[in-house]
Amino acid sequence: MAMKKYSIEATAIVDAPAAVVFDYINDMNHFGQWSPFAKIDKSLTSEVGKINKGVGASYSYKGKMIGSGEMIFTKLTPNKLIAISMDFGAPNPSHADIEWRLVAEGTLTRFTWAMTGERNLKNRIMAAAFNLDKTMTKHFAEGLNNVKAHVEKAK
């Protein structure tokens, strides 16, 4: 089956310097506070790896509704980028590349959550049937707004 590329992205403006936003999202211990996915699946269990910050930091999860997966930080550019390798497990195993991009705009930060990957025919049909890209964009936007709320509250 031919694979086809997809790309999903959402952006928010955070009223905090990029260094503050970066420090918050670079710590996998914080991901559970701002991830929109725990709210979707109340059965979700998660675990932060032995490394919780920087390259090699990891987060794995499992839930009845959202399935299982693991994220690993693969590249960091301080205050600008965290690149993540995302492996989805059951029920539809696949791989995606995620970037959390930060752009300083004066005292504000433009924070973008982007995900790219490839889908086989079965996953393309499922994505279309469930309007997955639009739904994921909405979830990403919610996660970004959660970061915004946490970081701005801590100011």
CATH number at residue 13: 3.30.530.20
Output the pLDDT for position 155.
72
Task: Report in angstroms the alpha-carbon separations of 81 from 21, 32, 40, 59, 61.
Answer: 11, 19, 27, 18, 23
How many domains is the chain partitioned into structurally?
1
Domain limits at 116?
4-154
Note if the pTM is more than 0.85.
yes
Nearest CA among 11, 5, 3, 4 for reference residue 99: 11
Task: pLDDT tens for the chain, 155 residues: list them.
Answer: 589 999 999 999 999 999 999 999 999 999 999 999 888 898 999 999 999 999 999 999 999 989 999 999 999 999 999 999 999 998 788 999 999 999 999 999 999 999 999 999 888 998 999 999 999 999 999 999 999 999 999 87
